[in-house]
A and B are shown apart, each in its own frame.
Chain A
Amino acid sequence: MKTSRRQFLQSGGAALVGVSIKGDRAIAGSFVNDSFQMGHLLRDGAQFAQANQVVKRAVVIVGGGIAGLSAAWRLNKKGFSDFVLLEMNEQTGGNSRWGENEITAYPWAAHYVPVPGPKALYVRELFEELGVLKDGQWEERYLCFSPQERLFLYGKWQEGIEPAIGLRAVDREQFQQLEDFIQNFRATGKFTVPMEIGFSETTAELDRISFAEWLHAQGMNSRILNWYMNYCCRDDYGATTSTTSAWAGIQYFASREPEEKGPLTWPEGNGWIVRRLLERVGKYVQPNRMVHRISRHGKRFSLLAGNTEYQAEFVIFAAPTFLAPFVVEGMAPLDDFEYSPWLTANLTLDHFPDSYGGDATWDNVFMESPTLGYVDATHQSLRSYVDRTVWTFYWALAEGSPAENRQLLLNKDWNYWKEAILRDLERVHHDIRRCVSRIDIMRMGHAMARPKVGAIFSAERRNLAQGRGRILFANSDLSGFSIFEEAQYRGVTAAEKVLREIGGRA
């Protein structure tokens, strides 16, 4: 170690700052965007107010997530305007909602889209329209900036989330072995995004065992490899490897081969896409309209929401599918749809922790943690100097039964979760409490479809996804798992079907 005047001055400066730091500050915040109260009204068959007006449209879209908005985008783009989109919440976007404070916009859930492959035609079409894809080139400023990801393990940070340090020869072998497996699966062309394109009966047996069982059967017992696989399942599906179908585990890796270093992301996450969609179809959107009853009268559907009865010839049901039996008259209960409970939080940081370590990174994951770490909302800022930021903290309650975890989400207060989050962050940033001024927490009991064993080849799922008749299901969960591309695909194809039906009749 050499001591220089420079370092001498610097250490003096740090000491001065240290002196001025007071104890832990009070942290403000609350639960936000709770929606289970409304869901419980539907589940419990509550009494709703009578409708006192009738609105007639050819098509009603239920739910303003990516799926519903994409259906609207398609109808509008094809010059069709006789429709309305009913969204339960004040804010449209569903799992792609975003928030904003004086520092930055930030996501509430979905925050990125992997660089779409050649088969995601509708996604590419949308992205060309939004200027994300220009002349075959992905717009640089929407690609995640360097450095993208890091993992905290053995007391230090490494670049990338796949563990690369402390590997034994056998770990390396197994990572390679898995890579070879994935290559082969990819080459079959049966694992695609959207999944419907390559979907094949020949892969059915993979849906009969869990991903953990499949890994075990291949002799892949490396603890590190299994940690990483489990992390991937938690991140994408909110489930563990033993509660994820092997088919879905493989799909995660085999369906993609990015042509560019991604992913695509924005300060407000996929909320950026919602905003762009709303610029186009916002005029059709009716917020604060929870559809609580859908019934069929001859050729017409009647949809009840608030004080209005909507009469339509076609319904695109883009709300989560598990709600349908509680809303659609005469619909049988569903058995195969399972959902993972999640919790997200947005933390306002008045300064970066001294313990930050290294260059500001977008996605930050800790190895020995049940959570998924945090994503930095200012990472996509073009600024060179950023001193305040918002971190979005992700936590899939993947271990244990979803029902129990939902109870836990409901029963524990804000303070409990706030402490749990801070303690998790303290593993890595011991001084985090000195930096955070606000923590808002969003609880989602049925956050996303869980591709449990059998979910992908479920007759129930495939039946609803077929989309026959005039009530078309469109939520991403019809793919068995929930990602942006699946939501968009389901929404667009539902709209296409409706257009075909209506066009055919005209």
Chain B
Amino acid sequence: MGILLFITVLLIAACGLIYELIAGTLASYLLGDSVLQFSTIIGCYLFAMGIGSAMSRYIHRGLVYRFVWIELLLGVIGGFSSALLFLAFAYTQGFQLLMYAVVIVIGVLVGLEIPLLMRIVRERYHFRDVVAHILTFDYLGALGASLLFPILLVPYLGLVRSAMLFGVINVVVALWSTFLFAKQLATAGTLRMVGVVVLCGLGIGLAQATRITMAAEDNIYADEIILARDTRYQHIVLTRFKDDIRLFLNSHLQFSSRDEYRYHEALIHPGLSAIAAPRRVLVLGGGDGLAVREILKYPQIESITLVDLDSEMTRLFSTHPMLTALNQKSFSSPKVHIINADAFPWVDANTDSFDFIVIDFPDPTNYSLGKLYTTAFYKAAGRHLSAAGLMVVQSTSPMFARDSYWCIAETLKQAGLKTYPYHVYVPSFGEWGFVIAGHRDYELPISLPAGLRFINLEEMPALFQFPPDMAPMPMPPNRLNDQVLVRAYDQDWKDISH
């Protein structure tokens, strides 16, 4: 009995500390300013514990009965605290208020635990021993929790699941207390039933934790922000979660380092490998250097001209170690010429010809970007194609923005080009679409550069097949004077977010 009692103390101490740490971490992570968040949360928590201890003296009878209830309550409130706070942050205005309320309620309940427990066991032990042992295990539990939390819990379980796991522990403690102190308990049946129900609830919560965090993360950058910069043209944000680096431009995800190889291999190789002897390549957009990295896999290419609006962006991807590791220092290649200019006027004024043109602009979310997806633009770009030349266009998702995708394909067609639409699956984007276009017919390549992780010759014909839910839609072309694409794109995303 002795050892079980002290394990109980150890566990409940750990649970209490974990909830406090979770609240502090969540607040620092969502609101920033971790010193302020941790100080205020620890302060509130300890103060609430004091209230709890003080309140314990008003409990005269049914000590075990009440102790078990406290454990059950802690299991529910503590267990769901993290999920609740995440969702509150993403969907309501009252995150901070709710957070302090949760911290105080948990604090009061935890403050009640130890005094009650001491009184429950005081007939069995010497008072001196009770205090010494209980406090020892209390502090040991806290130590264990504070080590477990950063080393195991956050990296492997995440905040939502950790809270639920410790909720389960509180409930387990409640359940075994009904056996441990059965003699001091008049009826255990109801308590055990409630305990099982709560346990099931937490079990379901654990299973659904990923969905809960995903729902919340849709509304926030869930990962650590390693760089945020306002340039003249856009808001650049880089985030990292473990080995996953993500780039956001004006809050739109541009790539995730986990699967960008799929996107960029698909963007480059089906087109470029189909050109017999490519020498000169033009990249419009693509200031991250990832498309250029793929193009550099063709040793016969002599020059790559990259036109990107934002010098700050190309500078970042030429110098930041984390980013040059991603693009394999592609911008340092002597073959690469970076031009910081607005694409349409540049394409209009320049007279060079290219064997391969990569058009990789942000999605047509507004009329300014929409200009880069018009018949006028594609005609101007088409004038730069050499006789054997081809271009490839990033064309949004044929799945989530089906009208937009086929509108872009139609626009290329109306610009007098032959079109070859294809699509791939990129986990962080979903189904994504491209269109190869040119003045000549396109034929699938017969060889590819070595070392590709995604694109291969066997599977390539399948990329050009569209299942019924992505099949072509009749769409008018996007023109400067009638930008149907911007409206279609807006509608497409409205349709899937409602």
| A-to-B contact residues, CB < 8 Å | 1-6, 9-10, 13, 140-141, 143-148, 260-262, 359-360, 381-387
How far, in whole Å, are A148 and B230 apart by their CA atoms in the complex?
A: 30
Contacting residue for B371 out of A2, A148, A261, A384, CB 8 A = A384
Is B344 a contact partner of A383 (Cβ separation < 8 A)?
yes
Is B371 a contact partner of A387 (Cβ separation < 8 A)?
no
Known: A140-B480, A382-B348. A147 touches B367 (CB 8 A): yes
15 contacts between A and B (CB under 8 A): A3-B95, A5-B220, A6-B221, A9-B235, A141-B376, A143-B481, A145-B483, A146-B367, A146-B482, A147-B367, A262-B481, A360-B368, A382-B344, A383-B344, A384-B368
Is A2 a contact partner of B368 (Cβ separation < 8 A)?
no
Is A3 a contact partner of B89 (Cβ separation < 8 A)?
yes
Query: Min CB distance, B231 to chain A, in Å?
Result: 11
Contacting residue for B309 out of A9, A141, A385, CB 8 A = A385
> In the assembled complex, which residues on chain B have CB atoms less than 8 Å from the CB atom of A260?
481
Given contact pairs A3-B92, A360-B367, enumerate 12 new A-B contacts (beta carbons under 8 Å). A2-B91, A4-B219, A5-B30, A6-B220, A13-B230, A140-B376, A143-B481, A360-B368, A382-B345, A382-B348, A383-B344, A384-B344
The residue on B at minimum CB distance from A2 is B91
Is A140 a contact partner of B479 (Cβ separation < 8 A)?
yes
Query: Min CB distance, B393 to chain A, in Å?
Result: 16
Known: A140-B376, A383-B344. A359 touches B367 (CB 8 A): yes
> In the assembled complex, which residues on chain A have CB atoms less than 8 Å from the CB atom of B344?
382-384
> In the assembled complex, which residues on chain A have CB atoms less than 8 Å from the CB atom of B481?
140, 143-146, 148, 260-262
Is B371 a contact partner of A145 (Cβ separation < 8 A)?
yes
The residue on A at minimum CB distance from B248 is A6
The residue on A at minimum CB distance from B94 is A3
How far, in whole Å, are A146 and B370 apart by their CA atoms in the complex?
A: 9
> In the assembled complex, which residues on chain B have CB atoms less than 8 Å from the CB atom of A10?
235
Is B219 a contact partner of A2 (Cβ separation < 8 A)?
yes
CB under 8 Å from chain A, chain B span 223-257? 228, 230, 232-233, 235, 251
Q: Flag whether B350 is at the interface (Cβ < 8 A).
A: no
Is A384 a contact partner of B220 (Cβ separation < 8 A)?
no
How far, in whole Å, are A3 and B85 apart by their CA atoms in the complex?
A: 13
| B-to-A contact residues, CB < 8 Å | 30, 89-93, 95, 219-221, 228, 230, 232-233, 235, 251, 309, 342-345, 348, 366-372, 374-376, 479-483, 486
Is B228 a contact partner of A9 (Cβ separation < 8 A)?
yes
> In the assembled complex, which residues on chain A have CB atoms less than 8 Å from the CB atom of B93?
1, 3
Is A140 a contact partner of B374 (Cβ separation < 8 A)?
yes
How far, in whole Å, are A154 and B345 apart by their CA atoms in the complex?
A: 38
Query: Min CB distance, A350 to chain B, in Å?
Result: 13
How far, in whole Å, are A145 and B481 apart by their CA atoms in the complex?
A: 4
The residue on B at minimum CB distance from A6 is B251
- In this complex, which of B348, B367, B370, B375 has the most chain A Cβ atoms within 10 angstroms of its Cβ? B367
Q: Which 10 residue pairs spanning A and B have beta carbons closest together?
A: A143-B481, A146-B483, A382-B344, A140-B376, A383-B342, A4-B219, A5-B220, A384-B368, A359-B367, A145-B480
The residue on B at minimum CB distance from A115 is B481
> In the assembled complex, which residues on chain B have CB atoms less than 8 Å from the CB atom of A384?
309, 342-344, 368-369, 371-372
The residue on A at minimum CB distance from B372 is A384
Contacting residue for B367 out of A2, A6, A145, CB 8 A = A145
> In the assembled complex, which residues on chain A have CB atoms less than 8 Å from the CB atom of B372?
384
> In the assembled complex, which residues on chain B have CB atoms less than 8 Å from the CB atom of A140?
374-376, 479-481
> In the assembled complex, which residues on chain B have CB atoms less than 8 Å from the CB atom of A381?
345
Is B368 a contact partner of A386 (Cβ separation < 8 A)?
yes
> In the assembled complex, which residues on chain B have CB atoms less than 8 Å from the CB atom of A13?
230, 235
> In the assembled complex, which residues on chain B have CB atoms less than 8 Å from the CB atom of A359?
366-368
Is B480 a contact partner of A146 (Cβ separation < 8 A)?
yes
